[in-house]
Amino acid sequence: MLVHPDWLTFLMETMNSDEKIGLVGYARLFPGTEKIEMLGHKAVNENLGKFNKIGAGQNLGKFLKKGPIKADFCLGMIRKSILAKTGRFDEKKFAMYEEVDFCRRVRDEGYKILVDPRAKVWHFVSQSLKKTGPFRIYYAYRNRMRYILQHNKGFGKIYYPLALMPTYFYKAIKFSLQGNPNAGWTIIRGIGWNIKNWKDYL
């Protein structure tokens, strides 16, 4: 990523404007443009761990006059003092959905999550991980299921994981038919990992 020279200044200004702000995110742009990759995410269905990107594909200028934007999760600056309440990142997630889980805990503690569109970062997409690589797929599907199991209560802890199963099996079969059986198998492995770690969800 390439950051704007005033990136940190803007994050600090927003964070210091309200002690109830727990995390401030930045505008993630496509390289060399003012086109938005995302301004954090808004929940479509948190019970299923489904979110939409804010502002994706639009020009940043549209958002600059609006001030900080409320998000359900994003990456950014974290207020250190809240870590004693929220805990840190879930180490078992390792990659993918760790920020979703952390932001959920920030909001559960009554703190706000905002994105300051003035704080610009140009993101060179998927330089570390291939979007359809087995590593990324494994952790994305495995950790989405973990997120659902951690944050749903009572009957929802059974219902929502089961509701997600048809999608998981469909994706596993689709990857296999597209000549990527290893990616399909990693989804099944991710389900198995969560079953193996069932005690975490009691």
For the segment 61-84, what is each residue's pLDDT rounded down to a tens digit? 999 988 999 999 999 999 999 999
pLDDT at 200: 95
* Phi, psi dihedral angles at 71 (to 5 degrees): -130, 160
Q: Distance between CA atoms of 15 and 10, rounded to whole angstroms?
A: 9
- With contact defined as beta carbons under 8 Å apart, do 93 and 101 qualify? yes
Is the per-residue pLDDT at 128 higher than 70?
A: no
Is residue 161 over pLDDT 90? yes
**Token representation of residue 135:** 């590593």
Query: What's the pLDDT score for residue 173?
Result: 95
Dihedral sign, CA of 194, 199, 200, 202?
A: positive
Q: Give the contacts of 52 (CB within 8 A, at least 6 positions apart).
A: 41, 42, 44
* Helix spans in the chain (H): 7-16, 61-64, 83-86, 98-108, 134-151, 156-177, 181-196
pLDDT classification of 133: cutoffs 50, 70, 90: confident
Q: What is the pLDDT of residue 94?
A: 85
pLDDT, residue 59, reads 96
Q: Of 20-24, 95-99, 127-131, 163-167, which gets the smallest average pLDDT?
A: 127-131
Q: What confidence category does residue 134 fall into, taking pLDDT thresholds of 50, 70 and 90?
A: confident
As a whole number of angstroms, the distance between CA 122 and CA 109 comes to: 31
Phi-psi region of 68 (alpha: psi -120 to 50; beta: other; left: phi over 0): beta
Span of 2-16, 82-96, 98-112, 118-132 with lowest mean pLDDT: 118-132
Continuous segment of H or E residues that includes residue 115: strand 112-122
Tell me the chain's radius of gyration from C-alpha atoms.
Answer: 18
